[in-house]
């Protein structure tokens, strides 16, 4: 039966997240962006709302089950607050969710307890690689098996919070089969080197790093899912859906701000929103935000059905990539000269919005 109404629990979550986004995240977003420094008290509040533990099964000590729909609803609200904070709060999920979904019993037992703690879980994941042409199905980072051990070599880019992480989920290409797999790596393993912090156009309040792996040797049991491995396509789909939902959040922030501004700003004796040139741009923005949201929802719903959602997830992400650029550009344009000034948030939303086609592996539901 078709329905667009979240459950009561989900609606409660949306309301809570929205209050957090407006009352806490928005208050620090500008300063954090200017100083390229996360505001940990706000991040911790977000972490303690328990999104990640609620996706971990009860038998492992969590409070629920993984729901991509719940994930996208929360992701949109967090990103509506600020994209850096949203990704920061959800960075541990990049490690926890694949382990929950595909980990061996030992991997789950040893690794998942850290996500049930009150303190922010020191775990992240490394997918993206430096360079112009990135392809998750043909990674440059390699995993070579020999004598019961696996050796990792390569460089990863945009690894969020790698500096404070203790655990990394590293995606690499099996040197023999060419298949992409995940490898659980302790950061203090010899050969793991946190290089420079990335300097990006946006996402400034989220520290991300270049990480180099030089002959990093791990046990065979470090492979996510053990001998069976993981479903990397499903992991990528979950990433695409999460990013699509965050793009909707960023776009909605810009659209709503521009809409309200256009009704206040008077030129030629009337609010600029009373000109069709502005009103139509805002109407198109509203339609595009809703379009992308519904696509993310549909893909998430399909994931929750346990079905192959790779087409829906990919299309949702591709659509959202373009949508968020169009909408955040429209937001800046609506504010004219003020839009270009950093004291107004719309330019930050445009800088953050432009990054989505590049953000592979930076979010997950």
Binding residues for another protein (CB under 8 A): 1-7, 10, 69, 132-137, 233, 236-237, 259, 262-263, 273-274, 276, 279-280, 282-284, 286-287, 290-292, 294-295, 297-298, 301-302, 310-312, 314-316, 318-319, 357
Q: Which of 85/303 has CB closer to another protein?
A: 303
Q: Which of 14/49 has CB closer to another protein?
A: 14
Closest approach of Cβ 353 to another protein, in Å?
17
Residue with tokens 């994930």: 71
Dist. CA 350–CA 115, nearest whole Å: 32
What residues contact 242, with CB distance under 8 A and at least 6 apart?
71, 72, 75, 90, 363, 364, 365
Nearest one of 316, 343, 344 to 332, comparing CA atoms? 344
Closest approach of Cβ 68 to another protein, in Å?
10
Q: Which of 145/315 has CB closer to another protein?
A: 315
Nearest one of 309, 320, 245, 297 to 87, comparing CA atoms? 245
Closest approach of Cβ 34 to another protein, in Å?
31
Q: Transcribe 19-51 into DSSP letters.
A: HHIIIIIHHHHHHHHHHT---HHHHHHHHHT-T
Q: Which of 27/358 has CB closer to another protein?
A: 358
Closest approach of Cβ 88 to another protein, in Å?
25
SS3 261: helix
In angstroms, what CA-CA distances link 105 with 144, 182, 221, 279?
24, 16, 11, 56
Q: Which of 174/291 has CB closer to another protein?
A: 291
Closest approach of Cβ 324 to another protein, in Å?
14
Q: Which of 47/102 has CB closer to another protein?
A: 102
Closest approach of Cβ 94 to another protein, in Å?
19
Q: Could you give the dihedral angle defined by the CA atoms of residues 34, 91, 116 and 56, in that order, rounded to the nearest 10 degrees?
A: 140
């Amino acid at each position: 039966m078709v329905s667009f109404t979240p459950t009561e629990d989900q609606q409660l979550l949306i309301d809570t997240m929205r209050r957090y986004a407006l009352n806490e995240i928005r208050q620090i977003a500008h300063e954090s962006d200017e100083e390229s420094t996360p505001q940990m008290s706000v991040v911790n509040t977000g972490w303690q709302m328990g999104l990640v533990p609620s996706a971990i099964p009860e038998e492992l000590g969590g409070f629920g089950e993984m729901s991509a729909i719940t994930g996208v609803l929360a992701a949109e609200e967090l990103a509506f607050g600020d994209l850096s904070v949203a990704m920061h709060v959800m960075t541990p999920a990049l490690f926890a969710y694949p382990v929950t979904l595909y980990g061996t019993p030992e991997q789950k037992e040893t690794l998942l307890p850290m996500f049930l703690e009150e303190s922010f879980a020191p775990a992240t994941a490394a997918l993206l690689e430096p360079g112009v042409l990135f392809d998750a199905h043909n990674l440059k980072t390699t995993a070579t098996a020999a004598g019961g051990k696996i050796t990792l070599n390569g460089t990863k880019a945009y690894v969020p919070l790698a500096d404070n992480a203790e655990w990394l989920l590293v995606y690499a290409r099996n040197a023999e089969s060419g298949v992409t797999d995940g490898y659980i790596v302790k950061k203090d393993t010899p050969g793991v080197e946190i290089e420079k912090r990335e300097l990006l156009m946006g996402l400034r309040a989220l520290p991300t790093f270049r990480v180099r792996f030089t002959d990093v040797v791990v046990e065979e049991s470090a492979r996510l899912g053990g001998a069976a491995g993981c479903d990397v396509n499903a992991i990528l789909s979950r990433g695409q859906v999460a990013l699509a939902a965050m793009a909707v959040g960023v776009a909605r922030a810009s659209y709503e701000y521009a809409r309200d501004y256009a009704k206040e700003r008077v030129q030629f004796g009337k609010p600029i929103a009373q000109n069709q040139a502005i009103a139509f741009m805002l109407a198109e923005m509203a339609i595009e935000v809703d379009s992308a949201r519904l696509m993310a929802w549909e893909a998430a719903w399909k994931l929750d059905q346990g079905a192959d959602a790779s087409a829906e997830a990919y299309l949702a992400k591709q659509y959202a990539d373009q949508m968020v650029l169009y909408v955040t550009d429209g937001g800046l344009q609506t504010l004219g000269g003020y839009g270009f000034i950093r004291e107004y948030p719309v330019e930050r939303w445009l800088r953050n919005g432009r990054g989505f086609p590049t953000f592979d592996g930076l979010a997950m539901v």
